[in-house]
Amino acid sequence: MPETASDSAVRFLRAMIFSGELGPGDKLPPERDLGARLGISRMTLRLALKALESTGYIVTTRGSHGGSRVADADSLVQCWNQWMRLHAQELADIFEFRTTVEARLAALAAERRTEQDLLTMQRAVAKERRPQDWSSLFRTDIDIHRSIARAARSPRLERAMLSSREEFFAPVDLARLEEREHQVHASHNAILEAIRRQDAAAAEEQMRGHILIIRTLTDRALEASGIAPAAAPSPSLR
């Protein structure tokens, strides 16, 4: 069944939340502004907002001071768990896609980065070491991967990378922060070092290892939530 305009709006708004553009408790922009940004009517937007409210992503209050806000962090965790129960099988495909796209972006970044690009990446990675809640940590992670993608100077691959991040956010960004801080930050540093040396092969290899770490931590978080991780698809017989 083709995706409707309200379905597209739901996906877009959910991506704004999961990308960190809208954090827990943040007030949504006015309907007029959101409708203009999405290119949809107010009626279509309201259908999307109602769908997000019914699934727990946002909370809407009525009255002169009312409006819609992103749900709190605990509610978003529950939303994620519910989404994963419906879509867990897609995870293996998403991780394969991320590995292919982001490994190539890392290699290109090593080949094409400027000193300013390197400084931007270093600042993003350094920020990861500061104490943060899961929402801030997720935004920082997005900033790190976006800075690598921009250094690659491949807009199409950058859009592909961001689109895969819009589809889901790993539960490791909601829990196990100490474990994540140690493993993922070390991995980001290894990627950055390879890019600094302009070693494309090493940058690609380190990014592949990084996605594998995320997948492993994600699988553990899924199991802790009572959701069986999806196996990688088997190669088709020829």
* Total domains in the fold of the chain: 2
User: Are residues 175 and 102 part of one domain?
Assistant: yes
Q: Quick check: is 120 in a domain?
A: yes
User: Are residues 50 and 159 part of one domain?
Assistant: no
* CATH number for 31: 1.10.10.10
How much is the pLDDT for 62? 80
Mean pLDDT estimate for the chain: 83
**Residue 171: band (very low, low, confident or very high) from pLDDT cuts 50, 70, 90:** very low
Are 143 and 59 spatial neighbours (Cβ–Cβ below 8 Å)? no
- For 90-137, how does the pLDDT look when each residue is reduced to its tens digit (9 = 90+)? 788 888 999 999 999 999 999 999 999 999 999 999 998 876 666 677
User: Are residues 104 and 41 part of one domain?
Assistant: no
Question: Could you say which of 22, 55, 71 is where a domain stops?
Answer: 71
User: Are residues 192 and 94 part of one domain?
Assistant: yes
User: Are residues 89 and 22 part of one domain?
Assistant: no
User: Are residues 218 and 165 part of one domain?
Assistant: yes
How far is CA 60 from each of CA 37, 106, 163, rounded to the nearest angstrom? Answer: 20, 41, 27
CA–CA dist 20, 136 (Å, integer)? 7
Question: Could you say which of 71, 95, 121 is where a domain stops?
Answer: 71
Question: Could you say which of 22, 41, 71 is where a domain stops?
Answer: 71
Q: Quick check: is 235 in a domain?
A: no
Per the structure block, which two tokens stand in for 67? Answer: 């409006």
Q: Quick check: is 178 in a domain?
A: yes
- For 46-102, how does the pLDDT look when each residue is reduced to its tens digit (9 = 90+)? 999 999 999 999 999 887 777 899 998 888 878 877 777 777 777 888 889 999 999
Structural domain including 86 reads 78-224
How much is the pLDDT for 172? 43
User: Are residues 53 and 94 part of one domain?
Assistant: no
Q: Quick check: is 105 in a domain?
A: yes
- For 8-41, how does the pLDDT look when each residue is reduced to its tens digit (9 = 90+)? 888 888 878 876 678 889 999 999 999 998 899 9
In this predicted structure, the answer to whether residue 236 has a pLDDT above a threshold of 60 is no
Closest among 9, 2, 3 to 43, alpha carbons compared = 9
User: Are residues 180 and 104 part of one domain?
Assistant: yes
CA–CA dist 183, 4 (Å, integer)? 40
Whether pTM > 0.85 for this model: the answer is no
User: Are residues 198 and 149 part of one domain?
Assistant: yes
User: Are residues 166 and 99 part of one domain?
Assistant: yes
Per the structure block, which two tokens stand in for 81? Answer: 């768990």
Are 34 and 79 spatial neighbours (Cβ–Cβ below 8 Å)? no
